[in-house]
Structure 1
Amino acid sequence: MSHLIPDRFGVLAHNGDQQVTVVLRWERRLLEVTMHLAITAYGSEADLFAAFRDAALSVFPPDSQRDPRTVTDPDGSRYIAAFTHPDHTPRTWRQWHRTTGRELAAAGLPVRLNPGHHISLTAPAEALRV
């Protein structure tokens, strides 16, 4: 059973046949590569979560060292928005905090990786604790 919830992912269908081309931008960062592979079912979630724990991520600066800044959806659910590279952060962000996936997993909240980017996914908190 998949724990990943793809937020954004683009595919282009060829006209006149059933073949689908997956649009990927291959990045050199391990977490981004494993995200691409896991979302397209060519890679494993175990590899993705292992890369997540060791990855350096950008988050909005926390109010305190132990309280990462969270985002609240209209339904009241909360998550941590994290980015695999500062270039992927929203243009309105003037500063960010670097942390590891392991530190974010310890917060016990879902983590949305690269929201608004061409490849984005949400990992539930329980999947990150493994």
Structure 2
Amino acid sequence: MEVVAPAEAASGCIARVALDVPQDRLFDYLASGVDADDIGRRVEVPFGRRRQIGVLLELAAASELPADSLKPLGAVDRRTPPLPAELLALARFAAEYYQHPLGAVLASLLPPALRRATAPRTQAVEAYALTEAGGLGIGELPARA
């Protein structure tokens, strides 16, 4: 995850984040260095005494809460693609229809490895390709091995 520095975040806009908690509302955080392209991305935010993974859903110019009570957005995961707008709309519909918190619905859309604050392990995959010289010999191979 890319870390947004708290000093940088103090002068930014408001990020509204859906968290997997039993409250059906979005949580406001100070954000800088984020834009509309980051909507649908996983973010790591301080929540109480711990850090939690949520999904950035909206950017706003102001919050109903006083600015000094807002915490800065911790990190934005730009290594993985954001959730598509269609999937976010489906999650909003399901949350409203089934009377379930939006953050919990969005968390159920994510694979378990992406629900945790620790970065998922990635492995380098070796790839092989047939060269032009190797392709010439394909016609000479027997039909049955």
Task: Name the TM-score class by shorter chain.
Answer: under 0.3
Question: So what's the TM-score if we normalise by structure 2?
Answer: 0.25
Question: So what's the TM-score if we normalise by structure 1?
Answer: 0.27
More helix by share: 2
| Rg (Cα) greater in structure | 2
